[in-house]
Amino acid sequence: MRCYERFIILTVLLCGGFLLMYTVRESTRDDNTSHRLHKVYWRLLRAEQRGEELSYKLFQMVEKLKTINNTGANVTISNSTKDSLGHSLNNTSTRRFLYPQPYTLLYLPHLSENDDSLQPRVYLGQGRSGVSLVLGIPTVRRQKQSYLVNTVSSLLFDLTPEEKMDIVIIVFVAETDGAFVKTIADSIQKNFPDDVKSGLVEVIAPSPFYYPNLSNLKETFGDSKERVKWRTKQNLDYSYLMLYAQDKGTYYVQLEDDIVAKSGYTESIKNHVSNVNTEQWLFLEFSQLGFIGKLFRTSDLPVIVEFFLMFHKDKPIDWLLDHILWVKVCNPEKDSKHCNNEKSKLKRTFKPSLFQHVGVHSSLPGKIQNLKDKDFGKQVLYKSHQNPPAKLSSSLKHFESHSLDRAYQGVDFLWVFTPNQGDYILIEFNTPQTVKRYRFRSGNIEANGDRFYNTTVQVLPSDVSVRQRVEQGQLSCCKPSSDGFAIIGSFINAIAEGPVDGALGGLKAMRLYVHSNSEAWAVLSEIFIQV
């Protein structure tokens, strides 16, 4: 409310000031003529009337805003907050989001035209809140390739079960076409059913009434009409996502839909945050690029969003973010060195970067954006182990130098073209091995979708009598395959691992066998045969 009061007082003061100037000027120029005085009198009267009209309009506006505030507060859960599965969302984060903050209405007056213009459409989500890290991924329809599933895969790749409990990943589809949002939600549901079920991954979209008419924007900074529209919408997208995220956890990390994460990124973030938590800063930078990997305290988000909304038509988001720093700490009477110095206290940059940009096509059609963060470095995409000497063979063709031999030796990962039914990887030990445990992991943090699906782990006992017992189904550990191998396990969620039953004795060979055609390439990032 204070905002409006200030506004009224300011307007009244300004009006008063003008009137005063007016009077003074008129009276000094025109001296004694009563005719002129008369004219001035009438003008004053008219000005006064105008002022009254103005203040009445202002009053009306304030009243209108008040009732909006009221209706906002009264809005109960409407049918639109049901997710696609029909669960009603009952949680505080959704509720508190419903109150339109006074400033959102000032900068986006069209929001008052609909009761639910800020109400998020939650397609997938369990209303998770109270976590440490909220990761926000805005995404839009792209003409070219979409990286979203890979991005989410990468973020999920090496989270421990504990870490999974303490994070929420919000995919914000910044589109109002419900059918399109549904396709995104469906692909997230299909690729990450467990993480959707646990509430770790959410898919939301804005209310269809959120965006103003973006066709009348002023072109600034030499940006074309299309570009101004794009960057303005982007500002609104980020703001919406931040508003939605603010109640869900302690820290908010801004991400993009075309990135890969560094292994162990959550731990790194938590460590860095705990090191500087008592100090003053506005955001921590875990990537050098644009608006990727910026961490905010969620308690700071309302102020930041207000700033973004205030200038959403004027500048792109990364400039606005920099301007916040400028406004806070720069002294116009001092030089830019002083300013940069002060700004760097509010913006802490961490190296190496934890997020790398992988996309080439920007969401602005035609814009190529081949930006790479130099400070991301190269990450190790495989885990090496000492494996028993063996002869290796496979029906799968590998990509570039990512061969089976190198993967088995623990110096690379195996990367193969799309596996089909009947494809195999065969490991024939030079001498029979008594294997205690095995572990095969598919996918890696940069290609987490490249997994082995419907693939079993099979072994060939060296002892003929054991093989016969397997074939006759006499061993409880395993099922027989059609050609003398015993099936001892399979890939579940990208990993196949377990002990090897001692009854199998020494093994002549191990084999991975693909049972159905895959849609993607496959990576084998860890091979561990423990003897």
Ligand X SMILES: *[C@@H]1O[C@H](CO)[C@@H](O)[C@H](O)[C@H]1NC(C)=O
Distance CA 149, CA 146 (A): 8
Report CA dihedral (500, 503, 506, 510) to the nearest 10 degrees.
-40
Burial of 436 (0-12, 13-18, 19+ CB in 10 A): exposed
Q: Say which amino acid occupies 248.
A: K
Q: Nearer to ligand X by C-beta: 363 or 518?
A: 518
Q: Which is nearer to ligand X, 1 or 45 (CB)?
A: 1
The DSSP code sequence of 138-168 is EE---SS---HHHHHHHHHTT--HHHHHTEE
Closest approach of ligand X to the CB of residue 212, in Å: 9
We find the least distance from the C-beta atom of residue 332 to ligand X, in angstroms, to be: 34
Residues in contact with ligand X by CB under 6 A are 1, 66, 69-71, 73-74, 79-80, 88-91, 99, 126-130, 213, 215-216, 421, 454, 515-516
Of 81 and 139, the one with the shorter C-beta distance to ligand X is: 81
Q: Which is nearer to ligand X, 128 or 511 (CB)?
A: 128
Least distance (Å) between residue 411 CB and ligand X: 32
The residue (of 81 and 387) whose beta carbon lies closer to ligand X is 81
Q: How far is the CB of 52 from ligand X (least distance, A)?
A: 23
Between 74 and 482, name the residue whose CB sits nearer to ligand X: 74
Beta bridge partner(s), residue 455: 514
E strands in 346-406: 347-349, 355-357, 390-394
Phi-psi region of 125 (alpha: psi -120 to 50; beta: other; left: phi over 0): left
In one-letter notation, the amino acid at residue 310 is M
Q: How far is the CB of 393 from ligand X (least distance, A)?
A: 22
Q: In terms of CB distance, is 78 or 145 closer to ligand X? A: 78
Pick between residue 248 and residue 348 the one whose CB is nearest to ligand X.
248
Which residues in 48-78 are b (16+ Cβ under 10 Å) and which e? Answer: eeebeeeeeeeeebeeebeebbeebeebeee
- Residues 254 and 274: their CA atoms lie apart, in Å, by 19
Give min distance, CB of 90 to ligand X, in A.
Answer: 4
Cα–Cα distance measured from residue 157 to residue 171, given in angstroms and rounded to the nearest whole number: 16
| Closest distance to ligand X from the beta carbon of 209 (Å) | 11
Our CB check for ligand X shows the closer of 396 and 466 to be: 396
Cis check: omega of the bond before 352, within 30 degrees of 0: yes
CA distances from 500 to 86, 478, 505 (A): 45, 10, 9
Minimum CB separation of residue 11 from ligand X in Å reads 18
Q: How many CA atoms lie within 13 A of 421 on its CB side?
A: 3
What DSSP letter does each residue of 25-56 carry, written as one string? HHHHHS-S-HHHHHHHHHHHHHHHHHHHHHHH
Q: Write down the least CB distance from residue 77 to ligand X, Å.
A: 8
